Structure 1
Amino acid sequence: MTTHCIIMPLYNDWSSAGILIRKIDQQVASWQGNISVVLVNDGSQEQMPSTHEWIGDCDFIEHICVIDLVCNMGHQRAIAVGLAYAHNLGGFDSVFIMDSDGEDPPHELNDLHRSGRDNPGAIITADRASRSEGPLFRFWYWCYKLLFFLLTGTQIRFGNFSHIPAHQLDRLVHYPDLWNSLSGTLKRSGLPIKGIPSHRGMRYVGPSKMNFNGLVIHGMSAIAVLKEAVMVRLMIMAALVWIGAALLWAIVAVAGYGPWRSWLALLALFGLQTHVVLAMILFTHLNRRAHALQGPAMFWQQYVRAIHSLK
């Protein structure tokens, strides 16, 4: 019999989480395994309701617990703590990560579970085939994906909704970048990833809490994980600018087009300065690799206030 853990970060979303847990209980009925749900309470201001009124009776979920963090640390760090907790607890064949508000449809857990069985060595991600937000949000999300591709040279189609086998979890929780972004860390890690199509659901209670500022922070956090690739690509772009401008300056000088020479010289100088500054930043960052960095597996406990077992 297999054992699985479903990790859900939560911030003031108790009502949605209760509905979601009941729906998950219906979906995992055919899994023939032990299912645990771990809610990571990211410093919620709202008090947790009583278990009976909030969740009710679950027939197929064996264990439910709530991890109270010492403060509001943000969605990604709450996920990192949840993953480190599951890794420390041990005994799971795989872990699932999903939002607690219903935007990650519970019926798609079956698709992730099935794909995980068919691809035992891979991390299964839910690649967004459609989204439920308005056109403005979708536009900015498209801009984020385009910027991610331009700066890193790789595409990103997934978020947090995923399935991670236990042997890959052991590696993942030792990546320091996991504090910043799960999706960015998966991209950087080189671990095998297989995506399946997913359709964004609707929140069970209240409007979406993801605003423009949150989207920018989320996107920049993922890009920051791949900072070495970003700086190298920016250096290449800057080099193309100053080399191209210098060549054009030489051509213009030979041809005798005087008015353009000063502008091209300034452009070449700007590109060269940018190239040098980026190189210095990259060297400084690479030098910091001499310092040992620790992933969530090493010190997640210091961010936990209490752990409550609800079932």
Structure 2
Amino acid sequence: MNVVIPLFNDWEAVSLLLERIREVVDRSLLNKLAFLIVDDCSSTDYTELPKGVGQSLSILRLYRNVGHQKAIAIGLSHLASLPDQFPTIVMDSDGEDKPEDIMRLIGASEQKPNHVVFAHRAKRHESLTFRVFYEIYKTVFRLLTGKVITFGNYSLIPGPLLRKLAHVSEIWNNYPGGVIRSRLPYTATPIERGRRLAGTSKMNFVSLLMHGLSAVSVLMDTTAVRILLFCVITSGISAAGIGVVVYLRFFANAYVPGWASYLVFSFFIVILQAFLISLLLVFIVLTYRTQIHFIPAKQYSDFLERVEKVY
């Protein structure tokens, strides 16, 4: 079984994570684990990593920093290029994905074979501000895409699905969103999120916003249709408002205040904006469908500097 761990400068945390895995994972399973750390062009390097954790530990060195999601896609694509395919666990390097829950992912996978199993975040330990914005992100994601996303990267991919997932272009932007877009079967099991083992989180408001936008972008078609329907509804309400004012002004013996003309003009501006947004969306979707998409399985090697074998 493979374990993919994307990493950027979190060498202390990943060392503690490996030690924790050695402590809590059953020995029979531990001896089958092959760790793959995807070094996202870190500016620092490890001084020492724990030895003898699992059957092997390798580091994928990247030419440049590509971000967390792309690092995951590169790691999965590298494993998909190997002759044999094994179940693969994706987990963060900071320890917030608890090693104790690996068995729970495996158990859920046994109950639903050939499903990608995600860890549904039943409880989080971040600051109140972060949790509030995260809830806003989930709400906006549901409104724009019609999908519910309550999970992150912590997951288990069955061996037969690994190559299929590596050919899904959307995982390059957002791994969980790419799985949703791929229409591969997936499920989620409730798992409490842990606490960072060392260092400070690199996730801030800007990175959370970019992560949310990347998740929405992989479901561009659905998002565009929903925004288009919203524009149509808004235009219909505005047109009805204009009709009411015109009726009261010319066909009913009712007093029409002087600001009614400004109200009609405002409704007209709303209709014009809705039309322009709809037109822009149509062109964006058509462009998206005609362009050549990035396939991680075919192009990941362009970012791969070397594979470093630790043990």
Q: Same fold (TM over 0.5)?
A: yes
**How many Å apart are 1:169 and its aligned residue?**
1.7
- Residues 64-118 of structure 1 deviation map (CA, whole Å, 9 limit, x = unaligned): 1000111111101100100001101242321110001101001111100111122
Does 2:244 align with 1:251? yes
The aligned counterpart of 2:34 is 36
Residues 4 and 38 in structure 2, CA contact (< 8 A), matched pair in contact too: yes
Q: Out of 8, 16, 29, which is 2:13 matched to?
A: 16
Secondary structure of 2:89 counterpart: strand
Alpha-carbon separation, structure 2, partners of 1:99 and 1:110: 16
2:33 is paired with a residue whose SS is: strand
Q: Where do residues 109-120 of structure 1 align in structure 2 (5 Å cutoff)?
A: 109-120=102-113
| Residue in structure 1 matched with residue 164 of structure 2 by the alignment | 171
Q: Which AA in structure 1 matches 2:50?
A: I
> Partner of 1:266: helix, strand, or coil?
helix
Say whether the 8 Å CA contact 1:235–1:275 is kept in structure 2: no
Aligned 1:121-160 pairs, distance under 5 A: 121-160=114-153
Q: Deviation string for 1:258-290 (max 9, x for gaps)?
A: 533442343244234323433343234324423
Q: Is the 8 A contact 2:220 2:285 kept in 1?
A: no
How well do the aligned residues superpose, as a CA RMSD in angstroms? 1.7
2:87 counterpart of 1:99: no
SS in 1 for 2:96: coil
Three-state SS of the structure 1 residue aligned to 2:122 is strand
Q: Aligned in 2, Cα 1:71/1:28: closer, same or farther, shift over 3 Å? A: farther
> Which residue is 2:67 aligned to?
74
Aligned to 1:194: 187
Q: Distance in 2 between matches of 1:166 and 1:247?
A: 56
CA distance in 1, matches of 2:300, 2:288: 23
Residue pair 2:123, 2:192 contacting (<8 A) in 1 also: yes
Greater fraction of residues in strand? 1
Q: Residues 107-164 of structure 1: CA distance to partner in whole angstroms, max 9, x if unpaired?
A: 1111001111221121100011111101111111111111111111211101100011
Asked if the contact 1:115/1:124 (under 8 Å) is kept, the reply is: yes
Any stretches of 5+ residues in structure 2 without a counterpart? 250-255
TM superposition shift of 1:292: 3.1
Contact 1:238/1:272 (<8 A) preserved:
no
Aligned twin of 1:273: 273
Of the two, which has the highest radius of gyration?
2
Taking the aligned partners of 1:123 and 1:271, their CA distance within structure 2 comes to 44
Aligned partners of 2:284 and 2:206: how far apart in 1?
29
Quote the residue 1:161 is aligned against: 154
User: What is the CA–CA distance in structure 1 between the aligned matches of 2:58 and 2:66, rounded to whole Å?
Assistant: 19
**Paired position in structure 1 for 2:253:** none
* Contiguous gaps of at least 5 residues in structure 1: none
Distance 1:56 1:93, change over 3 A: closer
- Say if 1:158 and 1:183, in contact at 8 Å, map to a contact too: yes
Residue type at the aligned position of 2:297: A
Q: Which residue of 1 aligns with 2:234?
A: 241
> Is the contact made by 1:102 and 1:203 (CA closer than 8 Å) also made in structure 2?
yes
Whole-Å separation in 2 of the counterparts to 1:202 and 1:13:
14
- One-letter amino acid matched to 1:170: R
- TM-score by length of structure 2 reads 0.92
| TM-score, normalization by structure 1 | 0.92
2:200 matches 1:207: yes
